Amino acid sequence: EPEVTQTPSHQVTQMGQEVILRCVPISNHLYFYWYRQILGQKVEFLVSFYNNEISEKSEIFDDQFSVERPDGSNFTLKIRSTKLEDSAMYFCASSEGGTGSSYEQYFGPGTRLTVT
């Protein structure tokens, strides 16, 4: 069964450093998403991406964050100048169609980011 993959599974970085989290969505999916989940809290929407551009973004997704689909398979989340409060699990998800069209999302296993 096709699945979303994410690398690395755990990333430790120092405050102020830049990190890139990588995701490979399911191959025939067109919509891609990033979420974060601070330990013990709810899953928070960061951004959705379609047709090589951001479709929607939340208030959390400020200038510190950027997303890119550098090639036909990878979808990346870049966090510039990381802060302690960026420590969280970051989930990538993909779907065939948009959630507004009522397609389910398939989540990757997540990348645990620890900022020290």
Partner 1 sequence: QQPVQSPQAVILREGEDAVINCSSSKALYSVHWYRQKHGEAPVFLMILLKGGEQKGHEKISASFNEKKQQSSLYLTASQLSYSGTYFCGTVEGYTGNQFYFGTGTSLTVIP
Query: Which residues of this protein are in contact with partner 1, per CB under 8 A?
Result: 31, 33, 35, 42-45, 48, 50, 55-58, 91, 98-100, 102, 104-110
Decide if 67 contacts 53 (C-beta within 8 A). Answer: no
Extended beta strands in the chain, E state: 5-7, 10-13, 19-24, 31-37, 44-50, 53-57, 65-68, 75-79, 88-95, 106-107, 111-115
Residues present in the chain in total: 116
State the minimum distance, in angstroms, from the CB of residue 43 to partner 1: 4
State the minimum distance, in angstroms, from the CB of residue 85 to partner 1: 18
State the minimum distance, in angstroms, from the CB of residue 17 to partner 1: 25
Q: 16 or 100, CB closer to partner 1?
A: 100
Q: 81 or 92, CB closer to partner 1?
A: 92
State the sign of the Cα–Cα–Cα–Cα dihedral 97, 101, 106, 110.
positive
Q: 10 or 15, CB closer to partner 1?
A: 10
Q: 23 or 79, CB closer to partner 1?
A: 23
